[in-house]
């Protein structure tokens, strides 16, 4: 079955440290790839998306993600974490032929400490 | 200007009741979706409508019935509510085939069944 795997349900980093959130998809055909962020008691906000125009995608709030076909990965990074980055992050994919159905990973809660 | 709006934001009700959640989008999109987020934050698609036609119908109890009166609205009616229906329900919209199928989410409706 087509799925999305996010390694690490909880990641804790110090303020100013590198943020790395992992996402792997399960398809030989690259799907559409997205990262969404959810702040407490709020909806989902799109951080960035892979459009096949470039393997390194820049998003909002200083986040970026790199698409690696050989590793079927789309990991999210930010060079320097800020307290305001604390939230739940979801990787999501739309696989070919699924009528735009978003399949979400299980989410990674990012905690940022002083 | 709210792009995707949902009402109500909170809904508390007793087991066995029937309730509806409404969703409206002013983005001019032709496709709308309902997602369910459970207590563990897991997000899963329930339904999708394209131009008022049902195109995605995941394994959802038939107590859940979506209705799309026009392209800008997608409502969710739930009969005979059960404790397990407690969750946050998100509405989303997109333009099929456009902008790499980017979906815009509403703020969510938190349903609590007592």
> Could you report the per-residue pLDDT of B37-63, keeping only the tens digit for each?
999 999 999 999 988 888 888 878 999
For chain B, give the mean pLDDT.
92
Measured in degrees and rounded to the nearest 5, phi and psi for residue A99 equal 55, 45
At residue B17 the predicted structure's pLDDT band, cuts being 50, 70 and 90, is very high
Position B98 scores a pLDDT of 62
Percent of chain A with pLDDT over 90: 74
At residue B107 the predicted structure's pLDDT band, cuts being 50, 70 and 90, is very high
Position A1 scores a pLDDT of 65
Helix, strand, coil share of chain A (percent; to 5): 10, 50, 40
Which residues of B sit within 8 Å Cβ distance of A? Answer: 31, 33, 35, 40-45, 48, 50, 55-56, 90, 92, 94, 96, 100-108
Determine the average pLDDT of the residues in B19-32.
95
Structure tokens at B28: 């001019």
User: How far apart are the C-alpha atoms of B13 and B83, rounded to whole Å?
Assistant: 10
pLDDT digits (tens, 9 = 90+) for B66-85: 999 999 999 999 999 999 99
pLDDT digits (tens, 9 = 90+) for A27-70: 877 788 999 999 988 899 999 999 777 889 999 999 999 999 99
Percent of chain B with pLDDT over 90: 79
For chain A, give the mean pLDDT.
92
Q: What is the DSSP letter of A9?
A: S
Position A35 scores a pLDDT of 97
Residue A50's closest chain B neighbor by CA?
Answer: B100
Which residue, among B1, B3, B2, has the nearest Cα to B103 in the 3D structure? Answer: B3
Largest CA distance in chain B: 41
Whether A11 has a pLDDT exceeding 80, the answer reads yes
Q: Is A85 helix (H, G, I), strand (E, B) or coil?
A: helix
Residues of B in contact with A47 (CB under 8 A): none
A106 CB near a chain B CB, below 8 Å?
yes
Distance of CA A63 to the CA centre of its chain: 9
């Amino acid at each position: 079955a087509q799925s999305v795997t996010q390694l690490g349900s909880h990641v804790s980093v110090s303020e100013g440290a590198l943020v790395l959130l992992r996402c792997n998809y399960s398809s030989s055909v690259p799907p559409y790839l997205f990262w969404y962020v959810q702040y407490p008691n709020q909806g989902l906000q799109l951080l960035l998306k892979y459009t096949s125009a470039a393997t390194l995608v820049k998003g909002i709030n200083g986040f970026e993600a790199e698409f690696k076909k050989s590793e079927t990965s789309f990991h999210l990074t930010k060079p320097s974490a800020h307290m305001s980055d604390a939230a739940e992050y979801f990787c999501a994919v739309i696989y070919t032929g699924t009528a735009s159905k978003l399949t979400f990973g299980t989410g990674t809660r990012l905690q940022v400490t002083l | 200007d709210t792009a995707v709006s949902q009402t109500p934001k909170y809904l508390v009700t007793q087991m066995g009741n029937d309730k509806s959640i409404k969703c409206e989008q002013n983005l001019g999109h032709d496709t709308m979706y309902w997602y369910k987020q459970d207590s563990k934050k897991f997000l899963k698609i329930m339904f999708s409508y394209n131009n008022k036609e049902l195109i995605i119908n995941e394994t959802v109890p038939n107590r859940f019935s979506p209705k799309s009166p026009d392209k800008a609205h997608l409502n969710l009616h739930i009969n005979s509510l059960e404790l397990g229906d407690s969750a946050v329900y998100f509405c989303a919209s997109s333009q099929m085939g456009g902008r790499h199928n980017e979906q815009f989410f509403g703020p969510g409706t938190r349903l609590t069944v007592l």
